[in-house]
Amino acid sequence: MADTLVAEQAANRTTVQVDLGSRSYPIKIGRSLLAEAGAEIANVLPGARLAVVTDETVARFHLDALRTSLDAASLDHTVITVPPGESTKCYAEFERVCDEVLAARLERGDAVVALGGGVVGDLTGYVAASVRRGMVFVQLPTTLLAQVDSSVGGKTGINSRHGKNLIGAFHQPALVLADTGILDTLPMRDFRAGYAEVVKYGLLGDAAFFAWLEDNWQAIFSGGPEREEAVARSCQAKADVVAADELESGRRALLNLGHTFGHALEAAVSYETSRLVHGEGVSIGMMLAHEFSERLGLIGPETVERVHKHLSDAGLPVKIQDIPGQLPPAETFLDIIAQDKKVTRGALTFILTRGIGEAFVEKGVEPALVTDFLKEKLVP
């Protein structure tokens, strides 16, 4: 699959092909792609009518550019705007957006387009999966996190009062356009949080990529061509895992490196993004996964130190104490982890590691070990 990462020198574009049989699709990566979205979409879906779903914040910065591009390609489109923020991933917005897509009289071959970050992508993808039992879905991810994570894998959905992402569908897009220039307008904190997921791909399975990130992270942040390479290599890494395990039965669990601890931290602060955003939770979670692996004798302190150095250099939080405010005791974290949907019939599943790029799934972790470990980590 490595040969599908094709550098298109002329257009300064990179394309990652996600190989899923009849559901395969390309991710195009490059600066100014939003301005060319009309031509790109018309190329894949000639004559299609579109419903563009976006949030109020993204609309303010980027909707005009997209509409101009769609008009230039003579693509008839309607715009549906949702409020920004995680609370938009709810049944009520799902119903409203579905009904607006239907009110626009889109037919089954027409497309629903997500212009935004993870929230817009997850909600819109689930709408696309559901209206008329499946419409064409196009993603224009506008955050680094969405470009390297949500744009690959087909996971869509909304939240229930019982937990996040519990209602949804696997629905692959027909096309993803990741405009890396848009990321210049992203708040630094959001860029950093997305970068944590980029680092994850190195840590879970590609030591050379991690080493490359150590050398090039500043150019990625400042917007050099290394940014496109980082996005492409991340998408390719996830695409390789997903192609091997589309419906998440085995190897795909590796993508949860840092996420079991990370989700627990997010839940512990009640998903208050002023205290912790997802990527920050993943950063601390990856440190904890490495420290826990060290505790189990799987890796040495020099590996932990190397991960710690890179994440702190990039400005990411690296320990629980980096989260402002009070946190619950270790036992509460264990309860949260045990309720996590990645728990299989009572046993605790963790992604552990034997070195940089050598993560693995461990399904039989003793809860008491985790509690003891977290107690130490929670000491102020």
Binding residues for NAD(+): 118-122, 142-143, 155, 164
Say if residues 200 and 206 touch (Cβ distance below 8 Å).
no
Minimum Å gap between C-beta 39 and a copy of itself is 22
Q: Which whole-number Å values give the CA distances from 35 to 16, 117, 157, 201, in the listed order?
A: 20, 18, 28, 29
Q: Which of 11, 102, 207, 347 binds a copy of itself (CB under 8 A)?
A: 102
| Residue 346: DSSP 8-state | T
21 touches a copy of itself (CB under 8 A): no
- Taking CB under 8 A as the binding criterion, the range among 27-35, 55-63, 235-243, 337-345 that sits at the site for a copy of itself is 337-345
Q: At what angle do helices 278-295 and 188-205 cross, to 10 degrees?
A: 30
Distance CA 221, CA 219 (A): 5
Say if residues 137 and 115 touch (Cβ distance below 8 Å).
no
- Taking CB under 8 A as the binding criterion, the range among 23-31, 167-175, 198-206, 355-363 that sits at the site for a copy of itself is 167-175
Query: Nearest 5°: phi and psi at 107?
Result: -95, 180
Minimum Å gap between C-beta 95 and a copy of itself is 4
Q: Which is nearer to a copy of itself, 2 or 345 (CB)?
A: 345
Q: Which of 63, 167, 296, 298 binds a copy of itself (CB under 8 A)?
A: 167
What's the first-to-final CA gap in the chain, in angstroms?
Answer: 46
Q: Which is nearer to a copy of itself, 60 or 108 (CB)?
A: 108
Minimum Å gap between C-beta 160 and a copy of itself is 6
E strand or H helix at 348: strand 348-353
Distance CA 165, CA 157 (A): 5
Q: Which whole-number Å values give the CA distances from 197 to 60, 148, 243, 251, in the listed order?
A: 26, 7, 19, 17
Distance CA 305, CA 323 (A): 20
Q: Which whole-number Å values give the CA distances from 33 to 65, 172, 182, 183, 217, in the listed order?
A: 10, 20, 9, 12, 23
Restricted to residues 42-71, the positions that interact with a copy of itself (CB under 8 A) are: none
Distance CA 196, CA 211 (A): 15
- Taking CB under 8 A as the binding criterion, the range among 27-35, 71-79, 271-279, 340-348 that sits at the site for a copy of itself is 340-348
Minimum Å gap between C-beta 167 and a copy of itself is 5
11 touches a copy of itself (CB under 8 A): no
Q: Which of 60, 108, 363, 375 binds a copy of itself (CB under 8 A)?
A: 108
Looking at residue 108, its amino acid is R
Q: Which is nearer to a copy of itself, 61 or 91 (CB)?
A: 91
Active site residues: 133, 155, 197, 238, 248, 252, 256, 259, 263, 278
- Taking CB under 8 A as the binding criterion, the range among 123-131, 206-214, 253-261, 294-302 that sits at the site for a copy of itself is 123-131
Residue numbers of the site for a copy of itself (CB under 8 A)?
91, 94-95, 98-99, 102-103, 107-108, 129-134, 155-157, 160-163, 166-170, 247, 341, 344-345
